[in-house]
Amino acid sequence: MQVPNDRQRPSTPPRKKRRRRNTAAIILLVVLLLLGAASFFVFGVNKWSIRFHLHGEPEVTRECGEPYKDEGADAEVTGSILDFVHHPVAVVISTEGVNIHEPGTYMVTYTAKFLWLSATEKRKVTIVDTTPPVIELKHIDDYYTLPHHPYEEEGFTATDNHDGDITSRVTSEERDGKVYYTVSDAAGNTASAEREIFYDDRNAPVFHFPDGEEVFLFKGETFKDAVTADDDADGDVTARIQISSNVNTAKVGTYTVNYKVSDEWGNEATASRYVTVKRKPAAAPKNMDPKKVIYLTFDDGPGPYTQDLLKILKKHKVKATFFVTAAFKDYQKLIRSEYKAGHTVAVHTATHDYEQIYASPEAFWEDFNTMEEIIRKQTGCRTDIFRFPGGSSNTISANYCEGIMSTLAQQSADKGYTYVDWNVTSGDAGDTTDGDVMYENMMNGIHTYENSFILCHDIKDYTVKMMDKFITDALKEGYTFLPITSETLTCHHGINN
């Protein structure tokens, strides 16, 4: 019998071969088991996640308007058990919703992704307005408020970090020499400011003389001083006026009254004015025809022929009016004679120089006062009647000062003076030197007007010479001659400049 080959020549012993195969399988199995267990552990038991690390606080608060810069965050992948794993992941930050100019609560969002993992984190950002507004007060240089007067605002502004310009919301209150300002913003933050009021009074009181800058009254009348004074700060200070006066209404003459008053601040004002007590005008003759009245007026004297004229007037017991000048110094004492004889003495001009007196209102009144004082020296009294050189209608004054006559007319009324023009001219101002022509002019005039104001010049010899005849004939015709007084119906030409 033959043994098969394979039995005859076995390559390996069969027991040993089988044992080797089993070992490999076991190892493989173990490896597979281990791998499965590891996988189960790594991806099953262990949970992977993305973890954030916020830089800074999770909740931040910022003032409105303050810039906000997010501090950022890091993220990493880590396991719940395998927490030694720290795999960094990119973070996307979104601050889009945050409005630093509007108070409120906002969220900053952080997003990170890795493979199948995705996560977000948030940070709370609160914008608040706790800043009060700012009030700025304006100050004007050298600004002051009158005592007793309300403060007049120099100005202010109010601005708020959130609300912007809130000037219109400012309220102010004046109290005890201060002004208090307050304003609130929409968030309720309040600001206040105050200013001290600087009081000052730099003006003295001002006097008012409603009864004229100069007073004229007749002897025996009562002088009741109508002076008042007011002050820019104190108002009416009339009660505090101190008056020193020696006015004696029982005696004809010109008196000076002095006034003094101070305001509470200590500013003092002084003034003085003339009060003239005039002699009473003679009563009009009982048999006078009111439609036949003549006011003879003589300008530009007294001069060399005035004395003769006074004699003629005296002879006829006729009163006239003299508008005097200072032209003839040697004859100035005749002003006194005119006055004592019962004629009216009135101002004409000291110089009769148009260019000088009509240069300005001031120049006019300077000349006027010079003449007024000469009259006062001669008669003891100032006079409330005057005649403009050239008459109120003159246009020659326009050569020197536009509109001066209008100004002077108003000023004279304020000062208490009455100016008188004429409605009849004798013609002796240059038209004629013939007494007969003058006579005709004057007769025609008085036959035309019920009240004739006749212009004559006592510095013309031919005027004085013809006067006796004129007066004689006018008296024969039943005319009455009267001196002009402040009671007389005035005669005005009308202003042309």
231 versus 299: smaller Cβ distance to Zn ion: 299
By beta-carbon proximity to Zn ion, the closer residue of 162 and 348 is 348
Q: Which is nearer to Zn ion, 300 or 428 (CB)?
A: 300
Q: Which has the closest alpha carbon to 60: 42, 72, 49?
A: 72
Least distance CB 455 / Zn ion (angstroms): 9
Kindly list the residues in this chain that would bind Zn ion in the complex (CB under 5 A): 299-300
Contacts 24+ apart (CB under 8 A), 161-170: 161/63, 161/64, 161/65, 161/129, 161/131, 161/133, 162/64, 162/65, 162/101, 162/102, 162/103, 162/129, 162/131, 162/186, 162/187, 163/133, 166/133, 170/135
User: Nearer Cβ to Zn ion, position 204 or 484?
Assistant: 484
Calpha distance 44→78 (Å, rounded):
14
Could you tell me the CA-to-CA distances from 299 to 257, 295, 303, 389, 456 in Å, in that order? 31, 13, 10, 9, 6
Q: How far is the CB of 348 from Zn ion (least distance, A)?
A: 6
Q: What are the phi and psi torsion angles at 434 (to 5°)?
A: -95, 120
DSSP class of 169: G
Give Cβ neighbours of residue 137 (< 8 Å, ≥ 6 apart).
154, 155, 156, 181, 193, 195
Look up residue 257 and give its two tokens. Answer: 């009254």
Residue nearest Zn ion, Cβ-based: 299
H or E segment and range at residue 5: helix 5-8
Exposure string over 176-196, b if 16+ CB within 10 A, otherwise e = eeebebbbbbebebebebebe
Cβ distance to Zn ion smaller for residue 262 or 306: 306
- Of residues 201 and 299, the one with the C-beta less far from Zn ion: 299
Cβ of residue 357: shortest distance to Zn ion, in angstroms? 11
- Separation between Cα atoms, residue 466 and residue 435, nearest integer Å: 5
CB of 446 to Zn ion, least distance (A): 21
Minimum CB separation of residue 297 from Zn ion in Å reads 10
Asked if residues 129 and 161 have their Cβ atoms less than 8 Å apart, the reply is: yes
Q: Which C-beta is closer to Zn ion: that of 185 or that of 299?
A: 299
Q: CB of 352: closest distance to Zn ion in angstroms?
A: 6
Min dist. Cβ of residue 475 to Zn ion (A): 27
> What is the nearest approach in angstroms of Zn ion to the Cβ of residue 428?
11
Q: Which is nearer to Zn ion, 214 or 299 (CB)?
A: 299
Smallest separation, CB 422 to Zn ion (Å): 11
Q: In the complex with Zn ion, which residue's Cβ is closer, 259 or 388?
A: 388
Tokens read off for 359: 């240069």
